Each structure stands twice: as structure tokens, then as C-alpha cells.
Structure 1
Amino acid sequence: MMNEHPLDQLIRALPKAELHLHIEGSLEPEMMFALAERNEIELPYASVEEVRAAYNFTDLQSFLDLYYAGAGVLITEQDFYDLTWAYLKRAQADHIVHTEIFFDPQTHTARGVEFTTVLSGILRALRQAEDQFGITSKLIMCFLRHLSEEDGFATLELAMPYLDRIDGVGLDSGERGNPPEKFARLFARCAELGLPAVAHAGEEGPAEYIWQALDLLNSRRIDHGVRCTEDPALVARLAAERIPLTVCPLSNLKLCVVDDLAKHNLRELLAAGLVAMVNSDDPAYFGGYLNQNLLACREKLALTAAEIIQLVRNSIEASWLPDDTKAFWQAEITRIAARHAQGE
């Protein structure tokens, strides 16, 4: 590209893992309209432009209201395949080599969509992406924290026949008033079943929620986690235990967690030695897929080449890839970084 910043070229060239991606949040307005027409669903919007105009969020809840309404167009196995495949094509364009995708079965089963319909469509696309693009993947089933723990147990029961195809569990949706401790028994049961856990914490919720996610849910990663810097003891623990933070900068901006991307604490997290990385969260709603998040941070935060490389290394380290595959991608990062440093 003409006049492209040299570090932007580095961003595009580096192999990356994306570990915080809600597949329902990759539903672009154009696809929302196409699926609504295919499934004979009437949307409360007259045009794609009207939908985009509605993407003016004041907080997490204002986004979730639209997010759940949009998900209503997803009905058939083909819908979930189409949704996932569209994301994976964008992932390939961003040189994402591994992705760990969240899905929210409760959003769909509450509407009468069968669990297996959701799972089959997503998995078909993931398998195709590995065959065609070489993109590996894991699938993480999230529980909606604004619902009850009992509802979560019911969803786990639905998932039981399919646990060999589910790689872990997560906790998402509205954080305010829904602390991780609300789901301690559910996550203990998931651990008994051999399902590793991740959890959203420290986005809108306080640093205390991150402690709870670690100690009560045994979370292996903290999704978001940007409010950890309010608690120096927590930062020290996260650094010492190499607990990854799957940070989503454009999401934080769009949902008013920060009012200016230039004020984001991403560089502070890296400087503290934390395993922070950049992800896109719900890219159709927040204005950017993975590379767009990295490019925006490079510009607004003046990221250095070393910081960009560290963010990408952290994404590989924090993934659930086998150690030998991690080593392969870390070596690739080293090779590409060296070429960049030599001006190639």
C-alpha cells in the first residue's frame, strides 16, 4: 500500500492467534439482512445503513440488546456455517493462523434452535478452514452471565453428547451485577468434565471480578482484564502466573470502557510484563477485525516494533495449541521480525 507505515507492514505479515472472538458478534449487517430474508424474518431496520447507525453504544448492555436481536436471524445449520465461514475468510486475510472461537448456545436454544444445529454449522466451517486455509481452531462454549446458574447447568446438560467437540467453557454477557462467583458450582462441574475455563472479567466489572474468575472459576485466561491495573497485587499475580489477558481495544473504545484509544492501557499492561494480546471481540459491531485493532493501536498508542511482536507472541503463547505448534509459530515470528528489522 502507498505511504503505509513500516510497522503496518509488519502487523500484516506476522502470524497471529485470535483468542477472543464471539462468532455471533461477527454478523455483519449485510449478512443479517440476507439471513433475515432467507428465513423470512422481519428486522426492525429498513436498511443496512440503518443497522450501522444503531451501532452507537453507550455501554455493554446497549450493545448486547442489539447483539441478541441480530442473532435472531440465525436459524439453520447453514446460517451458522455461513456466519463462521465469513469470519474465517477475514481471519485468513489478517494472517490469523489459529483462532479460539466463543459461541453462545443459550442465545439460540432459548429461541428454539437445537444445540446440534448451532454446533454443526460452526464446526463444518472450522473444519473447512483448516483444510483450505490451514487455520487451526478451538471452540469455547460460553455461558451467559445475565442468566441463572441453573440455566447454565441446563445448557451443559444439552452439551453433554458433544463434549468431544467442545474444547473449553467461558463466561460472557453483561458483567455488571453478575460476578464470577455466581457460577462457581457450574465451572466446578465443567472442570470435573475436563473442560478448561476462561472468563470475561475486569471489562466493566471491577478488579475483584478478575480475582474471582481465577480463584472460583479456575480461569486459564482473563478475557478483557483491562481493569487489573486498579490493583497492583493483582497485576503482580497475573505477571507471575503468566495469566493471559485477551484485550479488545476497539471494543473497549466502542463500549466506552475508554473514551479515547490513545488512553488505552495496553502499553501499560505490556510494560508490567503481562501476557496481553489484541483481539477483535465482536468485530461486526465494533468496527474492526484483528488487524484493524492492531493498526489502530499502532497509530493511537505509538506501539513500537518490539511491542507489536510481543503482542503477537503472547497470542501464540496464550493459545491452547500444542507446544510444538507454538514453537513453530514463534520461530516464524522471529524470522519475520528479523526480515522486518533488516528492512526487507
Structure 2
Amino acid sequence: MRDFIQGLPKVELHLHIEGTLEPDLMFELAQRNGVHIPFSTPEQVRAAYDFHNLQSFLDIYYQGANVLIHEQDFYDLTWAYLQHCHADNVIHTEIFFDPQTHTDRGVAFATVINGISRALADGREQLGISSELIMCFLRHLDEASAFATLEMALPYRDKIIAVGLDSSEQGNPPEKFARVFAKAREAGFLTVAHAGEEGTADNIRDAMSLLGVSRVDHGVACSQDEALMNELAANRMPLTVCPLSNTRLKVFDKMSEHNITDLLRRGLCVTINSDDPAYFGGYMTDNFMAVAEALPLNHKELAQFTLNAIEASFITDAAKQQLAERTCAYLAQHS
């Protein structure tokens, strides 16, 4: 099974680039930029990655981001992630970035997006990995900050395919950002949002109705609502599920309790993603393996996760057809 999964073409739709900051690179950048971090070794950082909920993860996540200051830092961060993609046979990725995490520290928006975009361009040319970039608003901050961030993004419309919503779901419902998302859609951005991770199924409904999202990030709480599950299946509303993240943050106590197999077999457009792999212990192959080892899935079902992700991606129909044919050809070889 590992050999099949390793070679399976993969498409990632839920990846926070700041969440790929591995301890070794964190230390390298801290030294390069003269930034103090409260750890003496990379091993101490790894030991701190023992989370009991989303907030305990976010506390260290934002702390680690302090080492990212210069354009080259963001390039190096993104390039390191693309190397993992290459090793895991990820053929297309759609990456989240959180500008407010950096602009609130005095780092220019241009510094962030130019470093990431330059690495993505090199990834396309040197590694053959296609990509899109999604800008997320931090939902624990206020609406005014989100509007200001949207204004910063407008000159870079050619580099950003969509806007999203991440950070603490509890206490920050979708309606808090309904006006910002409306303006983003008017400006031509697609929209996505985290919903139904720590929050309830109602947040999924509100993300669709109030934010006009093209896909729901996480969305595993949909199983609380039978009617919602039927609606998601009928509409093929994509869910970008992150299995290792869900277990590390105690959304599910263990992988064998995860609902991803049930969602797939109910006909939902569910996908596998790595979320914040440096913090949650696994990139794409690791997430596929964790699901396959804990839950009964055959080759066709595992390949369906990729086909669903291709369907849900923000690429052209022609590009989708090409990636789907590549995936189906691989499956046929291993039937």
C-alpha cells in the first residue's frame, strides 16, 4: 500500500505555508535574522509540538512565524515545502498564506507575496508542480484589519486566486467577515473558508450562504447534520480535510474514529491535505498513509481523493482533465 500511495499523483488544497516551517529552518532563519526564539535546539521545538486543541497550536505557530522577515525567508520556506511536494508526487498545490501574521509585525505585504510567488514560479519551472496562492484573513482579528489586508492585496490580483478565512473558529463565526468576503468577490477573488473543524455544522452552512465559498476547509462537523451531508453530496461542495491535523488537535481522538471514509462513501467531494505539516507530523504521503492504515480503503478509493481534489481545484478545465487522466492512468496500472 505504501508504494501505491507514494506513487499516486496528489493535489493539495489545504496547506498553510507558515505551517511548513520545520524546526531546523526556524533555527536557521532565527540565526540569520537575529531573532530570539524560546528554544535552544530544534529538538526542543519538536517536543513543544504536543497540542491539546487548536489554540495551543496557534500560540506556537505565530511565535515561530517571527523568524520570517525578508523576501528570501519566504522564498526559502516555500521552496522547502515544494521539495516535500516533489518527494510525495504532489503535482498541484494551492497554498494559503496569512499576511496579517507578518504585516502586523512590520513586514511589508510585498515582501511576503514576492518571496512566496518567486518560489512557486521556480517550482513550476524546475519541479513541474503547478500552483495557486490563496490569501487568508485571520478570523481572531477584526473586520477592519481584514478590509485593510484586502486593500493591500488588490495590486497583486494576478498572483492571488482566492481569499480564505482561518485561525480560531470558536467565537469568530463566518458572519463576522461577510462584508469583507462580498467585497473580495466583487474584486474577482474566489472564496474559501475554514468551517466545521472546532465549530459546528452551522458554521459550514454559514460559510456557504454568507461567504459564498467555492469549497469548505475542514468541514468534518458536517456529520452532525444529515441534511447538510446530503446537500454537500448533491452539490459536490468540496471539503479539504486534514486527517493528521484533526487527530493532533483532538478533533478526533484517533484516526480510526475519523469520518473521512464515511464522507467519501456518501459521495461527498472530500479530499486529503496536510494543513500545517511541520507541526502535525506529516506531509501528503504521511496523511494518505495514516488514513489507509487506520481505515479500510482500496486503491480506487485512495485515488478518488486525488480525483476529488482535481475537481475542486482552481485550475482550468483543460488542466483538470490532464491531471485526471494522469491519475486514472496510474490507477489502471495498479488495478
Q: Where on the TM-score scale, by shorter chain, does this alignment land: which range? A: over 0.9
Query: What is the Cα deviation at residue 164 of structure 1?
Result: 1.8
Out of 66, 78, 82, which is 1:88 matched to?
82
5+ residue gaps, structure 1, are: 1-6
**Matching of residues 124-139 of structure 1 within 5 Å:** 124-139=118-133
**Matching of residues 19-98 of structure 1 within 5 Å:** 19-98=13-92
- How much identity, in percent, do the aligned residues show? 58
More displaced 10-residue stretch of structure 1: 295-304 or 110-119: 295-304
User: What is the SS of the residue equivalent to 1:165?
Assistant: coil
Query: What is the Cα deviation at residue 160 of structure 1?
Result: 1.8
1:169, 1:29 → 2: CA distance?
A: 28
Q: Kindly indicate whether residue 243 of structure 2 is the aligned counterpart of residue 249 of structure 1.
A: yes
Match in the other structure for 2:12? 18
Match in the other structure for 1:158? 152
Stretches of 4+ moved more than 2 A in 1?
Answer: none
Match in the other structure for 2:109? 115
Residues 219-250 of structure 1, C-alpha deviation per residue, up to 9 Å, x if partnerless? 10000000101001111111111100000000
Query: What is the Cα deviation at residue 134 of structure 1?
Result: 1.0
Q: Kindly indicate whether residue 284 of structure 2 is the aligned counterpart of residue 290 of structure 1.
A: yes
Q: Name the amino acid aligned to 2:293.
A: E
1:288, 1:198 → 2: CA distance?
A: 23
5+ residue gaps, structure 2, are: none
Q: Name the amino acid aligned to 2:198.
A: E
In the superposition, the TM-score normalised over structure 2's length comes to 0.99
More displaced 10-residue stretch of structure 1: 274-283 or 294-303: 294-303
1:89, 1:190 → 2: CA distance?
A: 32
User: What is the SS of the residue equivalent to 1:72?
Assistant: helix
Match in the other structure for 1:194? 188
Q: Name the amino acid aligned to 2:231.
A: R
Query: What is the Cα deviation at residue 11 of structure 1?
Result: 1.2
Match in the other structure for 1:273? 267
Residues 246-279 of structure 1, C-alpha deviation per residue, up to 9 Å, x if partnerless? 0000000100101111110011101110000100
User: What is the SS of the residue equivalent to 2:136?
Assistant: strand
1:235, 1:135 → 2: CA distance?
A: 33
User: What is the SS of the residue equivalent to 2:262?
Assistant: helix
1:327, 1:114 → 2: CA distance?
A: 38
User: What is the SS of the residue equivalent to 1:326?
Assistant: helix
2:189, 2:230 → 1: CA distance?
A: 27
1:55, 1:126 → 2: CA distance?
A: 28
1:250, 1:302 → 2: CA distance?
A: 17
Out of 300, 325, 329, which is 2:323 matched to?
329
User: What is the SS of the residue equivalent to 1:216?
Assistant: helix
CA RMSD of aligned residues (A): 0.7
User: What is the SS of the residue equivalent to 2:321?
Assistant: helix
Q: Name the amino acid aligned to 1:216.
A: L
1:284, 1:334 → 2: CA distance?
A: 30
Match in the other structure for 1:224? 218
2:305, 2:93 → 1: CA distance?
A: 15
- Matched residue count: 335
1:129, 1:335 → 2: CA distance?
A: 24
In the superposition, the TM-score normalised over structure 1's length comes to 0.96
